Structure 1
Amino acid sequence: MILEIVSPEAKLFSGEVTSVTLPGVNGSFQILNNHAPIVSILEKGTVKIAAPSFNFSKEVAGKFTRVNDQTYTLEITSGTIEMKDNKVIVLVD
C-alpha cells in the first residue's frame, strides 16, 4: 500500500509500505494492505512505519528515528488519517 505523511511545512514521506501503526485517540492501531476504508483522528504519539526500503529527503530525514533496516518511527503531536483504496494519507502536526 502507499503511505503519504504530510505536515503543514512539507511532505515528510511518500512510498510503498507493508504496515503503519498510528496513535489513535482510543489507542494505537495498525493498518495493513487491503484495510477497510477509515478516517480517524490521531493524538500525540509515535507513528511506526514498516517498509522494504526508505528514501527520505535531507530536509526531513532528521524527523524520523531508525528502528532497523525496515522500520522507522515519527513522533507526532496530533493529526488525521484516511485509508482508501490501499492509500494511506496521514496529516500531522
Structure 2
Amino acid sequence: MQLDILTPEHKIFSGNVYGIQLPGIEGSFEILEHHAPMIASLGKGRMKILKDKSSTESFEISGGFAEVLNNKVSVLIEDAKAMA
C-alpha cells in the first residue's frame, strides 16, 4: 500500500509499505493492505513503519491525523523524531 507521512514543513516518508502502526488517541492500532476507509486522530506516541515483514522504521510523534482510502494511507503530523 502507498504511505505518505507529512508535516507542515516537509515530507517524512513516501513509498510502498507492508503496514504502519500508529498511536491513536484511544490506543495503538495497525493498518495493513486493503484496510477499510477511515480517518483517525493520533495521539502522542510511537509510529512504526513496516517497510516489509522484516524491516521497520520508528518515529516519536506528538499527534495528528491518519486517513485511509483506496489502499493509500496519508498521515498528517505536527512533527516526528526518528527513533533508533
The TM-score normalised by the length of structure 2 is 0.88
Question: How far apart, in 2, do the equivalents of 1:87 and 1:74 lie?
Answer: 20
Percent identity for Structure 1 against Structure 2 = 47
TM-fit CA distance, 1:41: 0.4
Question: How far apart, in 2, do the equivalents of 1:86 and 1:45 lie?
Answer: 24
CA displacement 1:58-92 (0-9 Å, x = unmatched)? xxxxxxxxxxx610101110100000000000000
Give the corresponding residue for 1:40: 40
Q: Is 1:71 equivalent to 2:56 in the alignment?
A: yes
Question: How far apart, in 2, do the equivalents of 1:91 and 1:43 lie?
Answer: 12
Q: How many pairs does the alignment contain? A: 77
Question: How far apart, in 2, do the equivalents of 1:78 and 1:51 lie?
Answer: 21
| Structure 2, unpaired ranges of 5+ | 79-84
Amino acid at match of 1:79: G
SS in 2 for 1:34: coil
SS in 1 for 2:63: strand
CA displacement 1:20-74 (0-9 Å, x = unmatched)? 000001100000000000101000001100114xxxxxxxxxxxxxxxx610101
| 4+ residue segments displaced more than 6 Å | none
**What RMSD in Å do the two structures reach over aligned CA positions?**
0.9
Question: How far apart, in 1, do the equivalents of 2:15 and 2:59 lie?
Answer: 15
Question: How far apart, in 2, do the equivalents of 1:3 and 1:50 lie?
Answer: 10
